[in-house]
Amino acid sequence: MIKFAFRAALVALGLVAAAPAMAADVPLGVAVNAGVVSDYRFRGISQSDKDPAFQAGLDGTLAPNDWLTIYAGLWGSSVDFNNGTTAEVDLVGGLRGTFDKLGVDIGFIRYNYTGKGPETQDFTEAKLAVSYDFGYVLPSAAVYYSPEYFGNSGTGVYYTAGVAIPIPVTEFAPTIKANIGKQTVDVPANFGITKDSYMDYNIGLFATYWGFTAGIQYVDTNLSKPECGGLSTCESGVVVSLNYAYTF
């Protein structure tokens, strides 16, 4: 399955790269990013067994007009589920629309896991996200839907709301970010928890300079260790990150 996802991403990015032959005046973009985090957290739960993780991504965009952007990309991270799984490779794609200060994002994410872990870990989500730029604050909300979530845990839905507050210091562009989310699953035992839903929270400070973004976040869930399958991966923690992004 991961080979199919990788080939599909190459096709999607290849279409972006070949687009000048079809319409030279259509704005195109290619961006790469790479970084390291002290703990890879996904919806509050550690994906790297609370150890550092290395991450990288490639994105292509095509903007046929001033309000619509078509995007496709690949993103990957090292992971450790203590079952032989070693990496996560995601295929993403969708449409982003900007209507004055309102942003709308409709897309999908295909999560693929490599190594010796079971294939049932792979899953697909549809995404709908909205945001509004007030200038001094950027609130956002999103919902993610999967008909068969991670580990054959049935229908999974994730609701999230967040806010980004830029601090008016131009040189380093510091931004405070906070998010709260709720994940629901039909079969919690297959997901590795004892409840059919849980909450996650995070708040952090990020600063960008010359393409580098450094961040520090506090991350937590409302799952206790027994509710998290006896693991400490749902407990609170501080995550430090450093990422570099470049747009061609």
**What does the pLDDT look like over 151-175, one tens digit per residue?**
999 999 999 999 999 998 878 889 9
76 pLDDT higher than 60: yes
Alpha-carbon span 161 to 5, nearest angstrom: 29
Share of the chain above pLDDT 90, in %: 85
Question: Which residues, including other chains, have CB under 8 Å from residue 230's CB and lie 6 or more apart?
Answer: none
96 pLDDT higher than 50: yes
Tokens of 117: 């872990």
State the chain's mean pLDDT as an integer: 92
Domains of the chain: 2-18+26-247 (2.40.230.20)
Amino acid 43: pLDDT = 99
89 or 22: which carries more pLDDT confidence? 89
Amino acid 24: pLDDT = 52
Asked whether 35 and 233 are in contact (CB, 8 A), the reply is no
List b or e across 220-244, with b for residues whose CB sees 16 or more CB atoms inside 10 angstroms: bbebeeebbeebebbbebebebebe
Instruction: Look up the pTM and report it.
Output: 0.89
Amino acid 117: pLDDT = 85
